[in-house]
Chain A
């Protein structure tokens, strides 16, 4: 060890004298305390950023873009409904109400496109998608209003409209379903990516901040302890209280920092996984579910394409809730034979079923499953009526309340996750209160205490 070796030749300098050494140790202690405060402040700043992105800016915006798909899909569904209902007034909510809903969805879509454009930032690919979406939306509106005008001129009982109106509507719905909806859906996925990346980056920065806090804390304690021992041995004094207070303060700052970081990590993870991810996945399920209803109406509206719309309906039902079945009859029979809430299934509902962790979530989810079963049951009767020569009954079933009730239950489940998300973000914000002034104030106090503790010893050499 160094003890038995002869002392190395020392450089001439201030460090050789006793006051010089005290000054060096003091400077080191001040630097270590500043490093500690800096590390804590940096880590806390990352926690704040993470919370801001997920909780206040990008997170809510992403949820808004998820509504874009829903709004677009419902615009097309409303147009189809108006065309199907014709001059009938006893079926569904009535032409004016449906057109008002169409307008409402259109402005909802406009707002969501703006959010998406904002989220796209300087990502050229996403920006190009937003532009294409805006252009397409204009084209869609022209086609839809032409179909509606043609339909109103011709006038018909509930059922398929005139062939001219149908031909224009086909162009409109193809544009919507095959071009615009996929782009809207992909934008939502893109925005989800932005939030996922941001949360990973902030979480790892917070982890690094925690490590730096630990290292800086060890360093500060080591230097302060060394200074304490040096002073008490060299000057044969008892403990230097000022230095001790500075040491305790540094330790408290580090401990508090690590604890608040741990808390924020938990909050961010919870808000992301049980709040944001679920809201986004269920919003996608709701959007796809809405096109299910549209496909029911289009099935009645366009008999020539009925096979295609029925197949698409099955594909989307499988995406929402997957049970193995090769045809719609078999799918609906398989849903029936499933005992409620139990059994294996995949799709959006499958992922939700695998994570029932929140209070009230199970009950809300079971309600969704029950309503979904009823909606599919209603669909089966609708198709039977259509095939069995009672088209009026089929239209009545398709425009009936079954879909609305299912959608409402799903909205309730989404709201439950949304509340969890909001409260997690509020907790996170609350836990950070005071942490912007805390670290610099503690550092300042510790530095003052160090200087106060060292000053009388240095004074003995003057």
Chain B
């Protein structure tokens, strides 16, 4: 309470209150700024990519190249940020985002309902499809059902073979292998007759002695992993991807990395997952 004895004191008391009141008004503003942890607030982005996926993300002499890397570079530039790349192994992707060791992940990261409970997804920036790779001289395979009675490569830890043998109930005989690059060697050596997984992955391995069947039978939506709840960041990433398709960059990059394989590519913007 103001207890005043002399004239003019009230004015001085008032002069003491004013700055305090102004400070009080400014407090919530400062608090509001501190709470924002969107990737948009950063100047430089740490982006997780695959180090060993031909055509998509490969690390050689400390430098990353591939379609995912080029798309990530474009998106970072559209957001006005610089980008630094790190390895994002499949098993660690959710953890890396939650801990904040990476800001974005571009690593053949398929959007699934289960992952969406832990991660927000920008994009997809491309919808890959499961397809089949055979030897170039094997003209008898036009679709997945033609694999009946043939030897299909089964990669440990991958579910792609299930889609053929269990879901489509195609009578293939499985030959196990530690990785898809090993599968392709086995295909060329005649130890297996077909390799079946995401078409972009197959395209990365394709050579002149292999052929992609171009009979897609599933949608693999490659999303951009973002810390869950970063709506502003996610919406900005989606806008950048839209522009990448509008200005022709997507077409250019897809052709640069995958046209050689003979894969039928799609150059129109995919249906986004939505950020909320």
- Residues on A lying within 8 angstroms of B by beta carbon are 2, 15, 18, 21, 24-25, 28, 125, 128-129, 132, 178-179, 181-183, 185-186, 189, 192-193, 196, 204, 207-208, 211-212, 215, 218-219, 222-223, 225-227, 229-230, 233-234, 277, 281, 284, 307-308, 311-312, 315, 318-319, 322, 324, 326-327, 346-347, 350
Contacts and interface: CB of A to CB of B under 8 A. Distances in A.
A179 B22 CA distance: 54
Nearest to A2: B12
Contact of B238 (A28, A186, A233): A186
Given A178-B268, A215-B21, A307-B217, A128 B246 contact: yes
Main SS of chain B's interface residues?
A: helix
B230 interface: no
B167 to A, nearest CB: 4
A335 to B, nearest CB: 14
A311 B113 contact: no
A161 B144 CA distance: 24
A24 B168 CA distance: 88
20 contacts: A2-B9, A25-B11, A183-B268, A185-B271, A189-B274, A196-B231, A207-B28, A211-B24, A212-B25, A215-B22, A219-B18, A223-B14, A227-B10, A229-B4, A284-B274, A308-B216, A315-B219, A326-B166, A346-B113, A346-B114
A347 B271 contact: no
Nearest to B144: A307
A379 to B, nearest CB: 16
Interface string B7-49: 1111111100110011011001100100000000000000000
B218 interface: yes
B274 to A, nearest CB: 5
Given A178-B266, A186-B272, A215-B21, A318 B113 contact: yes
Leading 9 A-B pairs by shortest Cβ distance:
A182-B271, A226-B10, A322-B113, A327-B167, A346-B113, A179-B268, A185-B271, A215-B25, A311-B218
Best-buried of A284, A311, A319 by chain B (most CB within 10 Å):
A311
B206 to A, nearest CB: 22
A33 to B, nearest CB: 15
Contacts of B252: none
B84 interface: no
A128 B274 CA distance: 19
Contacts of B274: 189, 192, 284
Nearest to A182: B271
Interface residues of B, number: 52
B238 A189 contact: yes
A287 B268 CA distance: 20
A234 B7 contact: yes
A250 B275 CA distance: 45
A129 B268 CA distance: 11
B162 interface: yes
Interface in B99-124: 113-114, 116-117
A417 B216 CA distance: 39
Nearest to B116: A346
B270 interface: yes
B13 A346 contact: no
Contact of A326 (B114, B143, B167): B167
A234 B145 CA distance: 102
Contact of B21 (A196, A218, A227, A284): A218
B235 interface: yes
Nearest to B219: A315
Nearest to B271: A182
A261 B59 CA distance: 56
Nearest to A24: B11
Nearest to B169: A327
Nearest to B231: A196
Contact of B10 (A25, A193, A281): A25
Contacts of B113: 318-319, 322, 346-347, 350
B10 A211 contact: no
Contacts of A185: 271-272
A312 B271 CA distance: 13
